[in-house]
Structures are given as C-alpha cells and as structure tokens.
Structure 1
Amino acid sequence: MSGIVILSLERTLVVAIRCGDRAFANIEAIVFDKDGTLEDSLSFLRELARRRARFIDAQIPGTGDPLLMACGIQDERIDPTGMMAVGSRSECKIAAAAYIAETGRSWSEALAIAEMAFVEADRTLPRTVDVSPLFPGVRATLETLHAAGVQLAILSADSPTGVAACVERHELGAYFRVLAGVESGQNSKPDPQLLLKVCRTLNVSPAMTLMVGDSAVDIEMARRAAAAGAVGIAWDGSTAECLAAADIVLARLDAIVAHTE
C-alpha cells in the first residue's frame, strides 16, 4: 500500500507565507507533522509506551524499564528526539522485539510477543480528543490557510490508519487534501522520499512546499527533499534545541499567516 490517502485535489493559489518574522514567497502547499505539531499527544504517547512495556514485562519480567528507557521515556518525561516521539510504529515494535529476543526467545516469538503487547496497549488506551487534543489555534490556522488556497497535507510517522483517525476525530477532513503515514516495513522520517511523494500527489514542487514539524527528523527530511522551508514548532519550548536547523522555530501554529500574491 502507498500509505497516502487523497481526500481532494483542487487548483491551488501561489501565496506568500509569513512565519513569525520569516517570509516564504511562492508557496503552494504546507505539509504538517501530526503528533506534537497538530495534536498535543505526548502524554498519550508516554502512557502508550508504558502500557506496551507493562504487557511485555508481564510475559518477560525485567524487560519493562529498560524498554521504556530505550523508547525515550523516563519518569514523566518523553525525549522529543527519542524513538517513541519520532519513530514509526513498525520501528518501535522491532525495537521491542529486539529486547525480547535478547532474553533468548526466537525472533518469530519475540515479534509475536511485541505485536501482542502493542495490540493490547491500543485496545486498553483508545485515542480520543480528550487524551490527544488539538493544540490551541490549530483549527483556525488550518481554516485560514485553506481559505487562502494553500494545499494542506499531513505527513506523520504514525500509520496511515492513525493519521486518518486523527483527522476524523478532530473533524479536519475539509482542510487536508492528502494524508500520509508510514506503512509497516516502509522507511520512516527523515527519508526525503516520503515528502517528495506527498508533493507528487499534490502536484506541487518541493521548492514551493513548506514542511512544519516538531522534530529534527521533520527538518532534516525537508532539507533533503529541497523544500522551500523547514518550520519548527516548539509549543512548550522543550523541543526548541533539537530544531536548531529549522529556518525558523515558532511557539504557536497561528504564527503561520498566508497572503495571496
């Protein structure tokens, strides 16, 4: 499967985008990361990692805490550069299976235990608007950008199903034209092919596309795809340091404003 869902494709306008004190001319599309950019989901991801580790630890005692540390979870903190924050589901599952395999299980058994833990964690922790709300001002920003004629897309390390579920639960389908996630076995960010594929689907040039995300892999992906710009978002300031390579780092998404040229 392609990992891309096309909601609609319409004629776009060329606009100037101002992001804080930085301006980008001749922009046709903006591609957004999902977790930590549109959705305030870090608390959810932290609890999801804990449940996965707890289910695995129940099968193989002593593996839970080391696995959480490998995922970038320590106490109440989630490492913004860690696997749970930026890795795909497939990458996280393979990492969990590797820890299990170190206990002497076969690789097939390790994968089966990891998959069971991931399924059980999903079952016991449904993702709702309460546990993964939109950040303030996100809906209004998407509405104004869409009204200005900018094509909008989501490109997430989450699965295509997870991306579609996010758009559905927040009722954002009217704003986005392409939804892209990472399929099992597919390369994840910062592979530039992910962004290039979204641009091809939108029928826009990467040189007329902005990437907006909260992690270093979003910024690196934009650079490697020769995008018009890489915009970092650091809602609480905790990820600002890892976004040093971005063209600009914003504290709020509503600092992104479109002007028709």
Structure 2
Amino acid sequence: MVTIKCCDRAWNNIQAIIFDKDGTLEDSHNFLRELGITRARIIDAQIPGIGEPLLMAFGIDNNFLDPTGLMAVGSRQENEIAAAAYIAETGCSWFKSKQIAANAFVEADRYCQKTAVNAPLFPGSLELIKLLSQVGLKLGILSADSTAKVEEFVKIHQLSDYIQLAMGTDRGLTKPDPQLFIQACQKLEVEPSCTVMIGDSQGDIIMAQAAGAAGTIGIAWNGFEATHLKKADVAITKCLAGSEIGCWEQIQVLH
C-alpha cells in the first residue's frame, strides 16, 4: 500500500486511484466545444432558431465551454435528452424530438472525430500514470463518456499497460451516483476506502465521497478559481500551482 500526498492532505494505505477522463486526463475542451456547436448547427438546420438556445443548454457561450456545463460534464445520453427537450418545446412530438436529436448526434460524430491532436493528454498526465503504476497502484478511468470511448482513449494514448479499468456510463447510472464508483472499485478488486478519486467536476467529487472513497482530488486546468470543486478534499489548479509547477506535480507518492 502507498501514501498519496497532495498539497496539505495525505492518504495512507492507498491501493487504487480512479481518474475522470475529459477535463482531467484529456484536454478535450476544444473538441467538446466543436462537437456541441456542430450538434446545434445540424439541429438548427432542421428547426431554425433553436441553435442558440441549444448552445446555452450545452454550456457553450461566445465560443467558450463552461467546465461545469452539460457538454463538459454530462453523459451523451443526458446531452441528447436535453437537446430533445428543446426540440419538443417547438411543438414536435417527443418521439420525433428524440429521433431528430439522436440523428443529429450521430451526424455530428461523423464531422467531429476525436484524435490525440485535438484532444491530447494534459501535460504530465502520462508521467503521473506511469509513476503511480510503477509503485503498484491499480489505476482506473471512470468517465461520463461511453465505455467504448474510454477504451478508445486508452488505446489512442497507449495506456493499456498502466490502466486496469476503462469504464463509462452505459447502463443507466450517471455521475454522481455513488454506485458507479462502487462498481469501479469492485472491478479493480479494491475497497472505496482504499481508493482516491481525481476529477474535474463536482459530480466526480460528490460521487466518490458518497461511496466512501479514501480521498478526493479536484483538478482545474483552466487556471480559474475552482469554486465548483470546493467540496473536494483538496483542489489543484494552474493558478494555484504557479507558472513553473504543473498540476500533477503537486501529487506526491510516499512509501
């Protein structure tokens, strides 16, 4: 077992660390913004005037993606349902609204392909993952994305030697349901009380704490004051780290 220290907090007897993906390990801000804009444009082409309200619902304003908004932290299913709800407000039947949203999301996927170029790892992510793996910790990824997309992420960035669990939200449960974290720990064969959660959203933190996680680390790469992470045991951001110290460098492994 290992001791993990971050800023002024330390957790002993840790066996595993579970990461969120988008916004935590993966710099997907630009990709998600473009994906949301494309979805809205495709729907707006069929229902003129709905594009701007959809962008607001997705959390996209003046070409800026809100890190706490639906597009950034919600599952595909949640985004699709939200889009269908806005379509339904125009007078479409619920069945037709869901169909329009689903078709638009599939079409947007064809236009917007995620790659290691438009959604790279954040600086230092690979080095931290390697370090944690080398000391014997079990590592998992628990994302609001689909399991297939998480597995694709692991493959694209060649992380299969280090990541033992690639898990999405495919079976109805979404963050912050603590059962997701409990299931992830069961798959890793560790107890939540021996596991640390690292994520960039309030949902990550609430989920892990409700499940009995040993500790929670919030991370905000945008450099802003992370008020949405105030419930985390500790939050690390670029603005707090300073220009010469990376976010991940604030996490230490002690034997």
TM-score by length of 1: 0.92
Query: How many angstroms apart in 2 are the aligned matches of 1:141 and 1:71?
Result: 31
Q: 1:239 Cα deviation (Å)?
A: 6.0
Q: 1:20 Cα deviation (Å)?
A: 2.7
Which of the numbers 118, 123, 127 marks the counterpart of 2:105?
118
Aligned to 2:133: 146
Query: How many angstroms apart in 1 are the aligned matches of 2:75 and 2:159?
Result: 22
Select between 45-54 and 101-110 the one with higher mean Cα deviation: 101-110
Deviations 1:186-241 (A, max 9, x none): 12100000000001111111000000000111111111111001100111223611
Aligned to 1:10: none
How many residues were matched structurally? Answer: 246
Matched, 1:75 2:62: yes
Change (3 A) 1:90 1:239: farther
Taking the TM superposition and a 5 Å limit, the aligned residue runs for 1:6-45 are 14-45=1-32
Q: After the TM superposition, which segments of 4 or more aligned residues of structure 1 sit over 6 Å from their partners?
A: none
Which of the numbers 223, 230, 233 marks the counterpart of 1:247?
233
Equivalent pair of 1:81/1:215 in contact (CA under 8 Å): yes
Q: 1:257 Cα deviation (Å)?
A: 2.3
Select between 75-84 and 226-235 the one with higher mean Cα deviation: 75-84
Q: Considering only aligned residues, what root-mean-square deviation do their CA atoms show, in Å?
A: 1.1
User: The residue matched to 2:113 in structure 1 has which SS?
Assistant: coil
Query: How many angstroms apart in 1 are the aligned matches of 2:133 and 2:152?
Result: 20
Matched residue type, 1:258: V
Aligned to 1:93: 80
Which of the numbers 224, 242, 247 marks the counterpart of 2:210?
224
Equivalent pair of 1:148/1:259 in contact (CA under 8 Å): no
Aligned to 1:256: 251
Query: How many angstroms apart in 2 are the aligned matches of 1:75 and 1:48?
Result: 15
User: The residue matched to 1:189 in structure 2 has which SS?
Assistant: coil
Query: How many angstroms apart in 1 are the aligned matches of 2:128 and 2:10?
Result: 16
Query: How many angstroms apart in 2 are the aligned matches of 1:117 and 1:258?
Result: 45
Aligned to 2:147: 160
Which of the numbers 191, 195, 206 marks the counterpart of 1:205?
191
User: The residue matched to 2:126 in structure 1 has which SS?
Assistant: helix
Task: List runs of 5+ in structure 2 lacking aligned partners.
Answer: 238-246
Aligned to 2:118: 131
Query: How many angstroms apart in 2 are the aligned matches of 1:119 and 1:238?
Result: 33
User: The residue matched to 1:201 in structure 2 has which SS?
Assistant: helix
Query: How many angstroms apart in 2 are the aligned matches of 1:127 and 1:143?
Result: 23
Which of the numbers 106, 112, 116 marks the counterpart of 2:93?
106
Structure with the bigger RCO (C-alpha within 8 Å, sep 6+) is 1
Query: How many angstroms apart in 1 are the aligned matches of 2:224 and 2:106?
Result: 30
Identity of aligned residues (%): 53
Change (3 A) 1:220 1:239: farther
Task: List runs of 5+ in structure 1 lacking aligned partners.
Answer: 1-13
TM-score by length of 2: 0.94
